[in-house]
């Protein structure tokens, strides 16, 4: 088992392809191309991007859930504590999901069983860990429900999912991760459907658990605010590619990629000024079901675009302050223009 700070999850050069539906005219979708992710023990990594960028498909690949989406890992490596998972049989993945890696999705109704009492679902998790005695199961399950802030834990054990609010269902999912003593929690838009006051409670809970148990987390979200508030490092994806990564604070203060910068400037902010206009990105991302454009995938929408961007795709390269970026525009140019407009960095 890795100690704090050591690499827990190491994903290298991950390529995920989605096969077309039978009889469909479209080609194979290259949903994720050449993704590297590294998560240390006790670290929270954010994976952000707009819909269709590949962030959810990447997370399904990490959990071995791709076949449900007609997806497959075309190439690459996924190591947890040094052990290779690509190529393992489905039963091994199932055990991994139950014990080492836990997940919380946007809609917990897709992962909780509506026909089973909460208590029975939690008991299944404990059984995987070899805890079978009824009283011990009930005691541990209730203790974890209390830990995640469910007021009437005993009552909750006896209820069915539909009796619980969205926030409570997410707490149950987090309690399951705790019971499994998972090393890695993958949260895919886990607070997106929640009201903002409830979201704040769940985010605070996740942060406490990280601090308390050095649990590692992969947070997949489109909400830059959530990432900024919770994550240590961030990877920004666009059209199947990671375009930038780095420490959260640096990335949001001084984005090194025009896409990150554009996302930040398109995000409405409560800290004003009132009535400021938002920068809108014209156009749409390229389609992924055919040969990709020869150059940078963001070139068609980029305001820093130059001739070379359209012919060759840049590599992911170091850009200082712990950042990596896939861009050839001079950093000074990006940073010089960061101060103008309502959404410039405050630095």
Partner 1 sequence: MSAPLLDVRDLEVVFRVGDERLRAVDRVSLRVARGETLALVGESGCGKSTLARAVAGLVPIASGSVRLADADASGRTCELVALGRRAWRKQRARLQMVFQDPDASLNPRMTAAALVGEPLRLHAALRGAALDTRVCELLERVGLDPDLRRRHPHAFSGGQRQRIAIARALAVGPELLLCDEVTSALDVSIQAQILELLRTLQRDLGIAMLFITHDLGVVRHIARRVAVMYLGEIVETADTDTLFDAPAHPYTRALLGAVPRVDGRGEAFAVGTRAGEVPSPLAPPPGCRFHPRCPIAVAACAVASPLPVATRGGEARCLRLVAGAAPPAPHSS
Q: Where along the sequence are the contacts to partner 1 (CB under 8 A)?
A: 50-51, 149, 151, 165, 167-168, 195-201, 203-204, 222-226, 228-230, 248-253, 262-264, 266-272, 274-282, 284, 345-346
Quick one: 100 or 254, whose CB is closer to partner 1? 254
Of the two residues 84 and 195, which places its CB atom closer to partner 1 in the complex?
A: 195
Residue 14 φ then ψ, to 5°: -75, 125
Residues 330-339: contacts with CB under 8 Å, at least 24 apart: 331/256, 333/304, 334/255, 334/256, 334/257, 334/258, 334/261, 334/304, 335/254, 338/254, 338/255, 338/261
Which of 25, 270 has the CB closer to partner 1?
270
Place of tokens 């947070």: 219
Residue 90's CB is within 10 A of a number of other CB atoms, namely 9
Q: How far is the CB of 266 from partner 1 (least distance, A)?
A: 4
What is the C-alpha to C-alpha distance for residues 146 and 152, in angstroms, rounded to an integer?
Answer: 8
Least separation, in Å, of the C-beta of 339 and partner 1? 15
Q: Which helix (H) or strand (E) holds 292?
A: none
- Least distance (Å) from partner 1 to the CB of residue 253? 4
3-state secondary structure at position 127: helix
Residue closer to partner 1 (CB basis): 117 or 222: 222
| Nearer CB in complex with partner 1: 60/224 | 224
Query: Residue 251 and residue 247: Cα distance in Å, rounded?
Result: 6
The count of other CB atoms within 10 Å of the CB of residue 20 is 13
Q: How far is the CB of 167 from partner 1 (least distance, A)?
A: 7
Cβ closer to partner 1: 282 or 307?
Answer: 282
Question: In whole angstroms, how far apart are CA 248 and each of 5, 57, 182, 329?
Answer: 17, 22, 24, 21
Alpha helix (H) ranges present in the chain?
55-62, 90-99, 118-128, 134-147, 153-158, 166-179, 196-213, 224-230, 248-253, 258-266, 331-336
Q: How far apart are CA 192 and CA 282, in angstroms?
A: 25
Please report, in angstroms and rounded to a whole number, the separation of the first and last CA atoms in the chain: 40
**Nearest approach, Cβ of residue 140 and partner 1 (Å):** 22
Shortest separation between residue 37's beta carbon and partner 1, angstroms: 21
Residues found in the chain: 347
- Closer residue to partner 1 in complex, CB, 200/336: 200
Nearest approach, Cβ of residue 304 and partner 1 (Å): 16
In the complex, the smallest distance separating the C-beta of residue 272 from partner 1, rounded to whole angstroms, is: 6
Nearer to partner 1, 195 or 317 (CB): 195
């Amino acid at each position: 088992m890795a100690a704090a700070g050591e690499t827990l999850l190491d994903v290298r050069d991950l390529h995920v392809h989605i096969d077309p539906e039978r009889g469909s005219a479209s080609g194979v979708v290259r949903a994720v191309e050449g993704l590297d992710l590294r998560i240390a023990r006790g670290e929270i990594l954010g994976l952000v991007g707009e819909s269709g960028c590949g962030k959810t498909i990447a997370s399904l690949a990490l959990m071995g859930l791709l076949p449900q989406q007609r997806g497959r890992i075309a190439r690459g490596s996924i190591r947890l504590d040094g052990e290779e998972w690509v190529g393992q049989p489905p039963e091994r993945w199932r055990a991994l999901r139950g014990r080492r890696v836990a997940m919380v999705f946007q809609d917990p109704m897709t992962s909780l069983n509506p026909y089973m009492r909460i208590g029975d679902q939690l008991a299944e998790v404990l059984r995987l860990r070899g805890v079978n005695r009824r009283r011990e199961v009930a005691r541990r399950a209730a203790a974890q429900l209390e830990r995640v802030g469910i007021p009437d834990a005993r009552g909750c054990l006896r209820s069915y999912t539909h009796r619980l609010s969205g926030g409570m269902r997410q707490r149950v999912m987090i309690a399951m991760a705790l019971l499994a003593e998972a090393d890695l929690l993958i949260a895919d838009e886990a607070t997106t459907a929640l009201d903002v006051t409830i979201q704040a409670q769940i985010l605070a809970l996740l942060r406490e658990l990280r601090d308390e148990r050095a649990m590692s987390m992969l947070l997949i979200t489109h909400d830059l605010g959530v990432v900024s508030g919770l994550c240590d490092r961030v990877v920004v994806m666009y059209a199947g590619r990671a375009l930038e990564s780095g420490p959260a604070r640096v990335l949001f203060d001084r984005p090194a990629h025009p896409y990150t910068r554009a996302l930040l400037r398109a995000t409405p902010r409560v800290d004003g000024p009132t009535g400021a206009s938002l920068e809108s990105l014209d156009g749409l991302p390229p389609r992924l079901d055919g040969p990709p454009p020869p150059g940078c995938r963001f070139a068609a929408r980029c305001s820093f675009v130059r001739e070379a961007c359209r012919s060759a795709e840049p590599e992911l390269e170091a850009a200082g302050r712990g950042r990596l970026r896939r861009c050839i525009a001079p950093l000074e140019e990006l940073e010089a223009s960061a101060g103008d407009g309502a959404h410039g960095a405050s630095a």
